Structure 1
Amino acid sequence: MRAPSLLFVFLSFMATLFFSCASKMQLSDLEQQVKEEFDQGDGTFAMAFMDLTTGDQLLINARESFHAASTMKTPVLIELYKQSEAGKFSLEDSILVKNEFYSIVDSSLYSLNVGDDSESGLYDVVGSKRTVADLAYDMIIVSSNLATNLVIDLVDARKVTQTMRDLGAPDIQVLRGVEDIKAYELGMSNSTTAYDLMAIYEKLGRGEVVSPEASEAMIDILLDQKFNDIIPAHLPEAVKVAHKTGSITGVHHDSGIVMLPDGRKYVLVLLSKELGDFAAGTELLAGVSKMVYDYVK
């Protein structure tokens, strides 16, 4: 049998290369897919994506303001680690568990309702002490509102917002703790954008928040997240997601760092509001997360 000519080998190689490149999804294809999905949903949606390896970035409604819900607990966690590293307290220090907090409107006292919290065990130990580290963990992985308010009392919401500015997040506003009804009725709520959450998770993923060691410690906490019905929902088990969710009536968010088995990482933020069907909106966002994963993979 005669050996193939060099021209034939070259043409075969070029054809393989062409079809390989042509078959790879482009960022513009992903953008079109996501926009079509958002257009079909009953609500308002936003997305911010950044591939930490290639630098690819996709922003859709990324500057739209949303009620932060519990996504604000990641900024609070960052401020906690910042102040701890500065020596203001140790994460192993113990603080009193209480259920009395001051409204930012008029300093009147209010308490949290255990029935509105995603975690109830902490209410059983009011009057005793828990370590700062334990409260931070519960604030993130089970989204404990009581733990969150205790941590915010410790670090000061205004300092959380200032640290967000320092990290390149111009629009995140952490004004108060959870269930400050007087503030809520006056429109004084914590808010965020998809862009801002992407900015802080990018720095976290690069080890640039507080210190490489602190960034790694915070990621370890976020990896233990118990609410996994958006970003990780349709991803392979081998893919790890360090993330924080948030939900209130008509609102469902997820934000974090997706870690592939081969070491590549990307940041994904998915926000929603005015959801006509909460379950359908959640599934829509989970589907978008899978689209992003397929693009990166």
Structure 2
Amino acid sequence: MDELSQKFMPGSRRLSLLIAFIPFFMQVLLQGCQSDADLRRQIEKELSSVDGEFAVAFEDLTSGEQLLINERKHFHAASTMKTPVMIEVFKQAAAGKFSLKDSIEIRNSFSSIVDKSSYSLKVEDDSDTLIYRQIGQRRTIYDLVYDMIIQSSNLATNLVIELVGPDNVTATMRDYGANDIQVLRGVEDQKAFDKGLNNSITAFDQLLIMKKIALGEAVSKESSEAMMNILFNQRFREIIPARLPSDVKVADKRGWIKGLEHDCAIVLLPNGKKYVLILLSDKLADRNKAVGAMANVSRLIYDHVARE
């Protein structure tokens, strides 16, 4: 063998080895694409069994895999807007505007954004009834935020939104890249509702902000951990956590009004994998059927991540 052949032989062998592995790499890639396509088909089939409109946003924070369906569609936010409000509270507390240990008086009188007229919340329309027996007393800001999230307390929400300002909540969402979340007002402002002045979200934006919390980037690592710990205690667990194994941890915020069901979650598996899942719905003919289908979608996502 001449000197020239000896010089180039190692490179030729490497090239031959690479060529030999190309079919294997292509097979792995094809299997991954087929798996993603199968997952999408399964989800679409599940949701198509229910009369209504749906959006899905999923991201595996370990692999970076995403699945998006109607992710830019606007939905009435219902109580999912309470997560952006929580973020703003922690942001303003970190800036020194107040302490989470500060207390504010509980009252049930608020001003409509339409004409500043006064309105009150009805205890029978709120998932938190205890707070109405505390009117005139004082509660810490942290306690109000906690109840706003885990019990979806509307009265606590209005007190907290009044404290931080809805415009500030929306501005912070824009800073986070969530360009379509709109927080205009508190809860049960009927005059605003009648004029179509509602808080709104998209699945894509909810994915962004839940991802910020999951990665420790919402305000700070410490604030993100504190918010996660609140979300872990969510009491309304009919959708994303409902059909997952008991050793899976879910930090989520539910939202619902007539004809609409949402759930926005960070899901932690025992093996360390982590993902964000947003499920939004509207125009539902059968609430129970829709909740069941969305819970099934959550399980499909979990099974997909767990076997990867």
By the TM > 0.5 criterion, same fold?
A: yes
Distance in 1, matches of 2:305 and 2:33, equals 10
**1:1-297 alignment to 2 at 5 Å?**
26-297=35-306
Question: Identity rate of aligned residues, in percent?
Answer: 56
Look up the SS of the partner of 2:56 in the other structure.
strand
Look up the SS of the partner of 1:268 in the other structure.
strand
Looking at CA atoms only, which structure, 1 or 2, has the larger radius of gyration? Answer: 2
**By how many angstroms is 1:24 displaced?**
10
Q: Stretches of 4+ moved more than 4 A in 1?
A: 21-25
**By how many angstroms is 1:143 displaced?**
0.3
Amino acid at match of 1:29: D
**By how many angstroms is 1:242 displaced?**
0.4
User: For this pair of structures, how many residues does the alignment match?
Assistant: 281
TM-score (norm 1): 0.92
Q: Over aligned residues, Cα RMSD in angstroms?
A: 1.6
**By how many angstroms is 1:39 displaced?**
1.9
Look up the SS of the partner of 1:228 in the other structure.
coil
Asked if 2 retains the 8 angstrom alpha-carbon contact of 1:176 and 1:190, the reply is: yes
Look up the SS of the partner of 2:209 in the other structure.
helix
Amino acid at match of 1:204: I
Look up the SS of the partner of 1:37 in the other structure.
helix
Distance in 2, matches of 1:38 and 1:166, equals 33
Asked if 2 retains the 8 angstrom alpha-carbon contact of 1:148 and 1:177, the reply is: yes
Distance in 2, matches of 1:22 and 1:128, equals 60
Asked if 2 retains the 8 angstrom alpha-carbon contact of 1:25 and 1:295, the reply is: no
From the superposition, tell whether residues 167 and 99 of structure 1 become closer, same or farther in structure 2 (CA, over 3 Å). same
TM-score (norm 2): 0.89
Distance in 2, matches of 1:286 and 1:208, equals 28
Asked if 2 retains the 8 angstrom alpha-carbon contact of 1:201 and 1:256, the reply is: yes
State the partner residue of 1:5.
Answer: none
Gaps of 5+ in 2: 1-22
Look up the SS of the partner of 2:158 in the other structure.
helix
**By how many angstroms is 1:208 displaced?**
0.5
Distance in 2, matches of 1:25 and 1:258, equals 24
State the partner residue of 1:7.
Answer: none
Q: Deviations over 1:141-171 (max 9, x none)?
A: 0000000000001000010001011111110
Look up the SS of the partner of 1:122 in the other structure.
helix
Distance in 1, matches of 2:55 and 2:232, equals 23
Q: Deviations over 1:20-59 (max 9, x none)?
A: x959971121111111222221100110000001000010
State the partner residue of 1:9.
Answer: none
Look up the SS of the partner of 1:257 in the other structure.
strand
Gaps of 5+ in 1: 1-13
